[in-house]
Amino acid sequence: MTSSAILSYSIEPVAELPADDKLAAALLSSLAEYDEQLHGRRIWLACSGGRDSLALAALCVQLYRQGKLPFLPQLLHVNHGLQADSSAWAAHVADWAAAQKIPCYILRAQVNGHDEQAARQARYEVMRAHINQGDVLLLGHHADDQAETVLMRLIQGAGVNGLSGMQPWRVQRQGGQHNILWRPWLTIQRARISAYAQRLQLPYIDDPTNDTGDNVRSGLRRDIMPVLASYNPNVIDNIARSAQLLSEAQASVSAQAATDLQQIAVASLQLPSAQQVLNIDDLHKLPLYRQRQLLHYWLGQDEPLPPAKQLVDDVLLLSQRDDHDHQTEFFWQGRKQSYTIRRYRQQLYRLSNKWLTWLQLSLIEQAEMLPQPFSPEFNAADEQPILTTLRSDDNFIWQVQVLANVVARLLDHDQHEALLKSSRTAMLKIAPLGRKQRVQTALASRPQSGKKLYQTLGIPSWLRDSLVVISVDFIDEKMTENESPIALPIFLLSPFDRWVLSVDNLKTDTPSHQLTDLIKSNLSPEKDAKNRTD
């Protein structure tokens, strides 16, 4: 099977052919710059079979055979199946790689959509699924690509981050995986690569859709860049240089925003990728321009693309409101997941919608028999902590570990004597706090209903169904169906905090801070639970 898009040169080994000095210098210079980060990593080369990627692969083969490149990358070709000749292109790339004795893998991608962005996303997803954690993906993007990218983002109204264009070295994160995108040719013009490919007579694929003008990038390439070059023949280098300057400026802005975030984030309420919280009072201490920069940085955490300026403006206005209306919320569909931005009192919350869905799951009630620490058979060394899961799905897990034997020893000695002489048993119970259930925190003067406690303790509406009471219930075997056990509440627990409840029935010489040490509350992404040790 052949394709008219493939140049009619025959497939020949390129190792012994002369390399291009400028292209080689750019690659080797970038190699030296990122040598430490590259050490020990596997290198893959995304090879569409087009001029740029095939030229980069050819140069790698030449420099590797000459002993100048310490690795020979493995090629990845993605067959989208979007064109009639897609299979012929994949076979051609595999044949060329075999002639060069370079490993090559053909991957199939399912594209959800018909535009270039959908194809690009599918391409990266299938490559990420193939390579391993921390591997490097070598890309043949060049200065012309950079200029087109900057112009595209300029007409889309991008800020400093967007106008800094593509980065030569970028860590790309998706879920729990991270990989490196490495672009060593961003200072090299397309014309140089074309001359090199012609000199080697590379049989590259000249995709006819690249210059049709039916998308923004190809339209800029065909219609706009020649006009700009007529005004200034150095336009490509100049735009690439501007992108580099803006990249350096963005690094300064991001560093300042990261520093501000450390001062303004509410550390006790952070859950990576799920819940990020800012203190509004501290936010307003910053100059207005730094508030905007911080919100832009804060909203865009964990996402490859930044939030829209309108969203940043809306969230800034939300932080400035003083009407005590906390019902306003904003929705943002990021690349990785969707988010809801809310305010409660003097705090801003960026909440993933996966997290909000998890918070609606029912809590699992738990009950466990307590040991009798004053009985002759009791041996504290043999007692194991009670580890229980309160709520879990594929995204998050909330587990609580209680030192039940120590809780039992906190009970008054006379109570245990009474337990031993009666038919009562003591149960450790963990159950949701009811809206009408009345409990008293250790520092409060009187008991309050759950509904009142929400406001007293400053619990946002979306976390109110996640409050649990840990209590000791005294159960008499002779109780009738109409009788209830005697309950002694000890702790009130939320995913992010805990409170000691009234300790009148506990040993009076037990400090409150020792009580809180009896519980370990672990809330994390579900994938981290297997690796957690307590």
List the one residue out of 221, 11, 170, 214 whose CA is nearest residue 102: 11
Tell me whether residue 52 is annotated as binding.
yes
Tell me whether residue 48 is annotated as binding.
yes
Return the ∠ at Cα 523 (arms to 517 and 524), rounded to 5°. Answer: 135
Tell me whether residue 422 is annotated as binding.
no
Which amino acid, residue 368? E
Per DSSP, the three-state class of 386 is strand
Residues 150 and 243 sit within 8 Å (Cβ to Cβ):
yes
Cα–chain center distance at 264: 20
Residues 318 and 297 sit within 8 Å (Cβ to Cβ):
no
Full DSSP string of 120-180: HHHHHHHHHHHSPTT-EEE----HHHHHHHHHHHHHTT--HHHHT---SEEEEEETTEEEE
The angle that helices 86-100 and 51-65 make with each other, rounded to 10 degrees, is: 10
Residues 465 and 422 sit within 8 Å (Cβ to Cβ):
no
Residues 127 and 107 sit within 8 Å (Cβ to Cβ):
yes
Exposure letters 256-290 (e unless 16+ CB within 10 A, then b): ebeebeeebbbeebebebbbbbbbbeebeebeeeb
Tell me whether residue 50 is annotated as binding.
yes
The CA distance from 234 to 82, in Å, is 36
Residues 351 and 332 sit within 8 Å (Cβ to Cβ):
no
Provide Rg for the chain, Cα atoms.
Answer: 31
Tell me whether residue 123 is annotated as binding.
no
Full DSSP string of 20-62: PHHHHHHHHHHHHHTHHHHTT--EEEE--SSHHHHHHHHHHHH
Question: Which helix H or strand E contains 402, and what residues bound it?
Answer: strand 396-402
Here the tokens at position 393 are 């799905």
Which residue ranges make up the annotated binding site for ATP?
48-53
Which residue ranges make up the annotated binding site?
48-53
